[in-house]
Structure 1
Amino acid sequence: MKQAVIETRLDSYRAKRDFSRTPEPAGQGAVRPAKRLRFVVQKHAARRLHYDLRLELDGVLLSWAVAKGPSFDPAERRLAVRTEDHPLDYGDFEGKIPEGQYGAGAVMIWDRGYWRPEGDPRIMLEHGKLRFTLDGVRLKGGWALVQMTRRSGARGRDWLLIKRRDAWAAPGEGAALLQTLTTSVASGRTVEEIAAGQRPAPRRDGVTRSCRNAERMADEIKRTASAAAGAGSSGRAAQAQVLGVAITHPDRALWPDDGRGQPISKLDLARYLEAVGPWMLRHVQGRPCALVRVPNGVLAPPRFLQRHPGRGAPAQITRVAVTGGGPPCFQLDRLDALAAAAQLAAVEFHPWNCRPFQPEVPGRVVIDLDPGDGLPFESVVKAALAVKDRLEGAGLVPYCKTTGGQGLHVVAPLADEKGKTTWAMAKSFARRLCQALAADAPQAYVLSASLDQRQGRIFLDYLRNDWAATAVAPLSPRARPFAPVSFPLAWNQVRADLEPQAWTLRTAATALVSTAAWADYLDAERPLSDALHRLT
């Protein structure tokens, strides 16, 4: 859009503000449009607390004031009042607007990232129904803005912000989730700390992200991957920061050898998780998660699996209660939670296979292919392709990843059937599928974990499809020599010459930039009830 048109669209914004008094940008920073459309949500403690949703389009930020903030619950329709267009550099603004100025109060960057309209956004806006997908730190998946119609038939400034039903929806938990996410994704401060003039904690170069510079996923991964891929250096400070989290003993070697003769330090782990976090979080967020911790490194005791946070657990990690009582579980809902896990020397991440924020509902079918000793990896590849065929025959959409060991995981995302899908159904489906495979090729497959029975065969592990059962997360490192990583694969990579150890903590972040594997995962959810009927 021509600059003159943009300037005209910003007239209302500028007329309301005295830029000699307010720290807000005047919109003269010549911020260039990004390759992808950006969005920001700013928590605004004005006369009435609200959240401002801003979507980049045609050189400005379209803006709505959402009175109660976005809700993850599709049943909750939040009033969103259209306000004046804002300049692109407002997406970076965090600070306090002084008394006597328009919108006086503290402004905090609550979320930011990229948005994708599902159609021509200008036509959708004209028709009063904008459907779009968000890919932010906190807000994910499908959303809609629907313009309200007055009794006269005219349409005004009032819209409704609605979360669409997908893997990122959290029925019944919208308000609760909003209340737990109270810090800035840019500075780590609360809105109260911003109002009090507290400065952001010092961070390492490159940790504080800029909305205009964050060509996030690919560009952000490229930026941080270089640090993640580099060998650990000596002489670091006694404490470093990643994503605002203090990393103590950053030089402590968690893996003694990365395969190149260099150790992998605690800080290297944190930087790796920073690099892959936006991708990884999609498959971890909203699910109870067990952590494998190695405080003294993978070769030294203690080494233990921890499901429940103890005293002093980092505040960035969510504590979530599940049915049946007992202590709360770990849950990693934010990028800085991954850095906090690194501070705990957590090197493996094993989330439940439930739907996000719905621990009672299965969210994916996982078949773990675990080869017996001496089997060539080509046998595992054949097994993965056989499982793929069975899942497709049942109407599901399968995906494959390495495990970081000698096996493969075949994963199929499940649709939310609103109470129709149970863990018993998921386990039954996985068991029947594996039984059928073993019946057709008993010389190749076994359903028993017994080492004697697995000799020369592949263990088809269907037991990960149950309440509280876990599977290692995509991109999780493993507590094994050379720090292998569970890496997402495209099916054309699943062939006899596949080398499962090719992806490590040193190489995975860079490799992630150039792969489209699992890109359509969230669009591939299918009903388990239909798959059960079709299973043959």
Structure 2
Amino acid sequence: MATAPRTSSSRAPARASRVTPAKRARQKPTSDDGTPLARYRAKRDFTITSEPGPVRTKPGKQLAFVIQKHDATRLHYDFRLELDGVLVSWAIPKGPSFDPKEKRLAVHVEDHPVAYGTFEGTIPKGQYGAGTVIVWDNGTWEPVGDPRAGLKAGKLVFKLHGQKLAGLWELVKIAKPGERQEPWLLFKKHDEWERPHADYDVVNALPDSVVAHPMKPLDDAPVAAIKRAGRTVAAVQKAAASPFDPSTLDGARKAALPETMSPQLATLARSAPTHGDWLYEIKFDGYRLMTRLAKGKATIITRGGHDWTHKMQPLADELATLGITGGWLDGEAVVLDADGLPHFNLLQNALDSKRSSEAIVYYVFDAPFINGYDLRAVPLHARRALLKQVIEAHAGDRVRFSDDFPADAAQVLETACSLHLEGVIAKRRDGFYTSSRSTDWLKLKCQARQEFVIGGFSDRSDNAKAVGALMLGYYDDHGVLQYAGRVGTGWSSSDAVDLRAKLAKLVSTKSPFPPGTTRSTRWLTRPAAEDHWVRPQLVAEVAFAEWTPDGSVRHASYQGLREDKDAKSVTREKAKAPPTSEKAVTAKKKTLVESMSHPAPAVKASSKSGNAEVEGVRITHPERVIDASTGHTKLDLARYYASIAEFMLPHLKSRPVSLVRAPEGVGGELFFQKHADVRTMPGMKDLPDLWEGHGALLEVPSAKALVAAAQMNVIEFHTWNSVKQKVDKPDRMIFDLDPGEGVSFATVREGTELMRALLAELGLQCWLKTSGGKGLHVVVPMSARLDYDTVKDFSQRIVQHMAATIPQRFVAKSGPSNRVGKIFVDYLRNGFNATTAAAFSARARPGLGVSMPIAWDELSEMKSGAHWTISDARDRLSFQKSDPWADYWRCKQTMTAAMKALQSAG
């Protein structure tokens, strides 16, 4: 190969063209005197702090970014971009937002070493930035343009590739040069990643460390996953066989294998859903097929009920080896092109030739029945988890699992369209399987496309044996075939001849379209010599740009014949708005099963609609302020309970719960509720038959139930001291230290230590939590052996002993007048049917304090019983290295020895 002369004039332009902004950012500056980290070094004593030393780093192949969540004097987020061997840094008090309208203050601080990007730990007291640091997000970044010039000019545009953040962002300086602290603004640029802050608050939704809880790169996962799903041609590496048991799934019903089953159908949607929890799958370009597995054989059935097993025998043989003794599977048959992407024409050719059926691949996406269990009332995500086990355990390559992508709908759809796929199917994650068209499944298409009935055709002008155009139609609501325009492209020369031969057998002298139509198309009234009517029996799949005002398709392209569709079933698809409220999935199972047996033909908010959705629960009036002292809204509370659920639910599990409702918010009238209609609170569970003659109590078993209660204006959750299995035998004893008028919180802390000391003398371990109000709760776990009267009597004697021993601190009688200047240790919480605010419950008081489990060595730091509120309670858990109550769950102490010790103490 000839080489161009290496002259300065020829070399300079070539070199400039190869230098990208990212490469320019990695280049070393011409002078390097080490000053960029001088301020960093001066602020720290590295003999005390464990932060990395001030060492510059050689640039790598990609530029790193990190956002560290820093619990210092005030919680904030440190945003750092690698450049010239250091991390250029800003402190952002409120953290980032995907909403371009949310411009967040970012104070430019000293550069940090690149090694600081991995730092997690606690900076000691007395040191600069004292507090705990976690890595909230990290990844790589790409500057748009020259980053050094951008920093100098005070305008830096860049793209992030993180685990939580992605897309284009901008930093803009809003101060004059030379100011001591440089205030900048960080905000999201308009692109496919932007989301209204009311819909999605990334700081609230994803509060934890990506080191402790790593995530897939946000902008890479959907593309890679879709390509894998569409391009898998070679045998998939098979996972080790795992035992699968459908009987363990919530909602599974033992039943006989149905002889027939109709598929669940998707509704065409105008846009992606903005409410609820959805999964997204590829919309495959093929034939929808149901498979019945029985007696070691597989029967493949089309959507129209036709048995196509003989057309796909190799596929049927492989399906029979799945290890399912009896079941129904739902999926799509496709043929993949050279790039591993599905194409409808290839599938039709494979079926027509009857020699290429071995190329057919069956992507299975649902399992409504497996091994003696009807799974139609099982949530979709659980059905699919079981199905994935089955598919990955088998040895063939024709039957594959259809992956889903729990990502942003717009991104998944854009990726699918960029790969020239038909579109995406959105499915409600907890939806049931119903043999009907449902808004639980939505079709999101890359272009308009549907089936049409062929009502006529024209000959090709230069070949009378080939079709030139097809006349299309669809049936209206009255069963009349309406004209929908022509399609004259999309087929090969051989396809045109084959299609003409098939249509010739259906030629008719009578138009299948209604007489007297007003459309100005000449052949509708008098076809030309090259035009022919046909009996409306064949169905064509057609892609097109749009519908014209007179009801015809524009820029249509033929995709193939649909042998699996009955012509009479073809109607005009009309896109609907996605659902804006939660489907009533809590309906009685009997009603659901009946609908299955007789099939008929389902944290986001919208300021426009005035509603929001959290954990699949519709939040009405989300903007309503429930605490005037802080401005906290109903949506804030719902989001708090959704975020805290994994920590709170163990404290609620199996326990009867009472609710404190505040329809008018904090300061209004409160209602204490022990019974409720669970239909108004999806996810809430009735606890009937706990003892004879009582009404059903309530249990909160899920995050959805927590949020549903918040939607019904519940602020507080109070639990019994016993679980439903032994409702008359408490498994804990609680002492509520309630300060009277004039008692400082320092005195409450001291009194709590004294309570702990007494319990220790009695041989009892105890744990501590804030009350969320004025006082503290001391909790003593115990084996569930004693009845409530015995436990309450014992707790009363402990309190009386405290009051008698230290009367200047404690009082054993309730009532405000009895505890002025003293602490009443409330033992009445230990009676039958009595309750206490649950751990992590908010309290219906100004500030919305939270009852927080803490370690004993944290007590001295507590400033009040409401040390944490719904604003910062979840953030505390982000920095928590261990659960202070970890040993609580394993403690099963008995009271016998303690009772004797107290009696001896007099």
Q: How high is the TM-score relative to the length of structure 1?
A: 0.60
Counterpart of 2:867 in structure 1 is: 502
**1:437-456 → structure 2 map (5 Å cutoff):** 437-456=802-821
Counterpart of 1:353 in structure 2 is: 721
Counterpart of 2:570 in structure 1 is: none
Question: Which of 610, 623, 629 does residue 238 from structure 1 map onto?
Answer: 610
Question: Which of 786, 792, 812 does residue 427 from structure 1 map onto?
Answer: 792
Secondary structure of 2:618's aligned partner: strand
Counterpart of 1:257 in structure 2 is: 629
**1:35-74 → structure 2 map (5 Å cutoff):** 63-66=242-245, 68-69=247-248
Distance 1:488 1:291, change over 3 A: same
Gaps spanning 5+ residues in structure 2: where? 1-210, 216-237, 251-278, 283-287, 292-297, 299-318, 330-366, 369-374, 386-427, 443-577, 582-602
Counterpart of 2:205 in structure 1 is: none
Counterpart of 1:468 in structure 2 is: 833
The C-alpha deviation readout for 1:136-181, integer Å capped at 9, x for no partner, is xxxxxxxxxxxxxxxxxxxxxxxxxxxxxxxxxxxxxxxxxxxxxx
Distance 1:385 1:324, change over 3 A: farther
One-letter code of the match for 1:242? Answer: V
CA distance in 2, matches of 1:451, 1:361: 31
Question: Which of 729, 747, 756 does residue 388 from structure 1 map onto?
Answer: 756
One-letter code of the match for 1:254? Answer: I
Counterpart of 2:674 in structure 1 is: 307
Distance 1:528 1:111, change over 3 A: farther
Secondary structure of 1:379's aligned partner: helix
Distance 1:466 1:378, change over 3 A: same
**1:108-257 → structure 2 map (5 Å cutoff):** 108-110=380-382, 187-190=429-432, 198-199=440-441, 235=607, 237-257=609-629
CA distance in 1, matches of 2:829, 2:807: 21
Indicate conservation of the 8 Å contact 2:249/2:382, yes or no.
no
Counterpart of 1:526 in structure 2 is: 893
Distance 1:199 1:466, change over 3 A: farther
CA distance in 2, matches of 1:97, 1:459: 70
Counterpart of 1:269 in structure 2 is: 637
Distance 1:61 1:273, change over 3 A: farther
Shift, 1:455, TM fit: 1.1
Shift, 1:512, TM fit: 2.0
One-letter code of the match for 1:392? Answer: A
Counterpart of 1:481 in structure 2 is: 846
The reply on whether 1:368 has 2:736 as its aligned counterpart is yes
CA distance in 2, matches of 1:37, 1:188: 25
Secondary structure of 1:271's aligned partner: helix
Gaps spanning 5+ residues in structure 1: where? 1-33, 39-58, 72-91, 114-185, 205-223, 228-232
Secondary structure of 1:369's aligned partner: strand
Question: How many residues of Structure 1 are paired with residues of Structure 2 in the alignment?
Answer: 359
CA distance in 1, matches of 2:800, 2:384: 46
Distance 1:110 1:367, change over 3 A: farther
Distance 1:188 1:397, change over 3 A: farther
CA distance in 1, matches of 2:606, 2:433: 37
CA distance in 1, matches of 2:750, 2:629: 32
Distance 1:472 1:511, change over 3 A: same
Secondary structure of 2:243's aligned partner: strand
The C-alpha deviation readout for 1:228-262, integer Å capped at 9, x for no partner, is xxxxx99363221111111111111111232xxxx
CA distance in 2, matches of 1:273, 1:393: 38
Distance 1:348 1:366, change over 3 A: same
Distance 1:519 1:199, change over 3 A: farther
**1:314-353 → structure 2 map (5 Å cutoff):** 314-321=681-688, 322-353=690-721
CA distance in 1, matches of 2:787, 2:805: 28
Task: Name the structure, 1 or 2, with higher relative contact order (CA <8 Å, separation 6+).
Answer: 1
Distance 1:518 1:424, change over 3 A: same
CA distance in 2, matches of 1:195, 1:250: 31
One-letter code of the match for 1:347? Answer: I
**1:271-290 → structure 2 map (5 Å cutoff):** 271-290=639-658
CA distance in 2, matches of 1:388, 1:264: 35
Indicate conservation of the 8 Å contact 1:381/1:496, yes or no.
no
Distance 1:197 1:455, change over 3 A: closer
The reply on whether 1:415 has 2:783 as its aligned counterpart is yes
CA distance in 2, matches of 1:429, 1:244: 45
One-letter code of the match for 2:626? Answer: L
Deviates more, 1:425-434 or 1:188-197: 188-197
Secondary structure of 1:254's aligned partner: strand
Distance 1:459 1:398, change over 3 A: same
CA distance in 2, matches of 1:384, 1:467: 25
CA distance in 2, matches of 1:495, 1:383: 12
Counterpart of 2:663 in structure 1 is: 295
Indicate conservation of the 8 Å contact 2:799/2:827, yes or no.
yes
Indicate conservation of the 8 Å contact 2:656/2:723, yes or no.
no
CA distance in 2, matches of 1:111, 1:280: 27
Indicate conservation of the 8 Å contact 2:614/2:642, yes or no.
yes
One-letter code of the match for 1:265? Answer: T
Deviates more, 1:460-469 or 1:306-315: 306-315
CA distance in 1, matches of 2:580, 2:730: 39
Secondary structure of 2:729's aligned partner: strand
CA distance in 2, matches of 1:271, 1:236: 19
Distance 1:324 1:381, change over 3 A: farther
Distance 1:396 1:346, change over 3 A: same
Secondary structure of 1:365's aligned partner: strand
One-letter code of the match for 1:309? Answer: A
One-letter code of the match for 2:855? Answer: A
CA distance in 1, matches of 2:725, 2:214: 28
Distance 1:242 1:363, change over 3 A: same
Shift, 1:190, TM fit: 3.3
Counterpart of 1:221 in structure 2 is: none
Secondary structure of 2:828's aligned partner: coil
The C-alpha deviation readout for 1:455-492, integer Å capped at 9, x for no partner, is 11110111111211100011111111111111111100
The C-alpha deviation readout for 1:45-82, integer Å capped at 9, x for no partner, is xxxxxxxxxxxxxx9677333364289xxxxxxxxxxx
Shift, 1:382, TM fit: 1.5
One-letter code of the match for 2:844? Answer: A
Shift, 1:436, TM fit: 1.7
